Amino acid sequence: MHPCLTCGACCAYFRVSFHWSEAAPEQGGRVPVELTETLRTHERAMRGTNQHHPRCIALDAVIGEYSRCTIHDRRPSVCALVPASYEFGAASTQCDKSRIAHGLRALTPDDWTGVNDADKNPLPEI
């Protein structure tokens, strides 16, 4: 099983900010605008992530037990850019930092033993 499906730490650690057009259907944006808030002139943020203890509104999880993004196929591009550590052969500072902040250990190459290539990307990219 893909380690992200039992984690969710990054979605409850970082602010998720992105260009406003990703939430503008008339611009081809796919992120549901009702799940976002204005951050700055040209930026929006996922609701729940621009606070002292962030947690994305689209996160359905018990951190470290199960995790899923309720808008995975429509998530912001910045979310798709955060790999799990060693998913593609290298450590991910963002993954490690968020996991450790939630009391989880950083992933190692051993965490990918038995995870086949189809499981490494369990849902299609946007």
Average of pLDDT values for 92-117? 94
pLDDT by residue (tens digit) across 11-62? 999 999 999 999 999 999 999 999 999 999 999 999 999 999 999 999 999 9
At a CB cut-off of 8 Å and minimum separation 6, what does 119 contact?
Answer: 1, 2
**What would the pLDDT profile of 59-84 be if each residue is shown by its tens digit?**
999 999 999 999 999 999 999 999 99
Instruction: Reply yes or no on whether the pLDDT at 126 is more than 50.
Output: no
Please report which residue ranges of the chain form alpha helices under DSSP H.
77-80, 93-101, 117-120
Domain residue extents for the chain = 3-113
User: Distance between CA 52 and CA 72 in Å, rounded?
Assistant: 24
- Residue 61 burial (CB < 10 Å; 0-12/13-18/19+)? buried
Average pLDDT, the chain: 93
With CA atoms as reference, report the closest residue to 35 among 65, 11, 71.
Answer: 71
pTM for this one? Answer: 0.88
